[in-house]
Amino acid sequence: MLSSLLVKDYEYGYALAYRLAGERLVGFADLRRQCLNSDAGYEVIDSGEVILVEYLHHLYRVTLPGVEVSLKGSEETVPLRDKILILNYLAQAKGTPTSNKAINYKELPEGINYFPTLSRRAIKPLVDNDPTQ
């Protein structure tokens, strides 16, 4: 029972995050400029606007105003987490050039606050399953 409640909470949270990121992206007065900030392609089509953005070596298509994210040239369903990451990236990009300087997770904005969760969910399972130990 508890696990089904947690799943519903995650589903609700992901759906809300997707909706909010989409609303933010649609709300840009100059979407073409925002695409330049994120190094994404932009084009106007009959039914709206299309953003083309590379994510993990694949090209994704974001169609507006309906905020649909799809893998360009594929019928494959894009996982909701990836959609959220893509939309947030597009909405938050500031056009800052890369510094080629490595930073740790705790140096990211809010990274120090989320690090215990990251450690518990990602790092600890890897360490616990280390075959060399």
Phi then psi dihedrals of residue 72, to 5 deg = -60, 130
Tokens 């990274």 -> residue? 111
pLDDT at 2 over 50: no
Encoding tokens for residue 56?
Answer: 């993990």
Lowest mean pLDDT among 4-13, 45-54, 100-109, 112-121: 4-13
Encoding tokens for residue 77?
Answer: 């369903």
Domain boundaries, the chain: 2-98, 102-133
Contact 61, 70 (CB under 8 A): yes
Q: Where are the alpha helices (DSSP H) in the chain?
A: 2-26, 31-37, 80-92, 111-118, 124-128
Tell me which residue of 12, 15, 35, 36 sits closest to 83, measured CA to CA.
Answer: 15
Instruction: Please give the model's pTM, rounded to 2 decimal places.
Output: 0.75
pLDDT at 54 over 80: yes
The full length of the chain comes to 133
pLDDT range class, residue 8, cuts 50, 70, 90: low
pLDDT digits (tens, 9 = 90+) for 69-121: 999 999 999 999 999 999 999 999 999 888 889 998 889 888 899 889 888 98
Q: How crowded is residue 84: how many other Cβ atoms within 10 Å of its Cβ?
A: 21
Residue 97: the pLDDT is 86
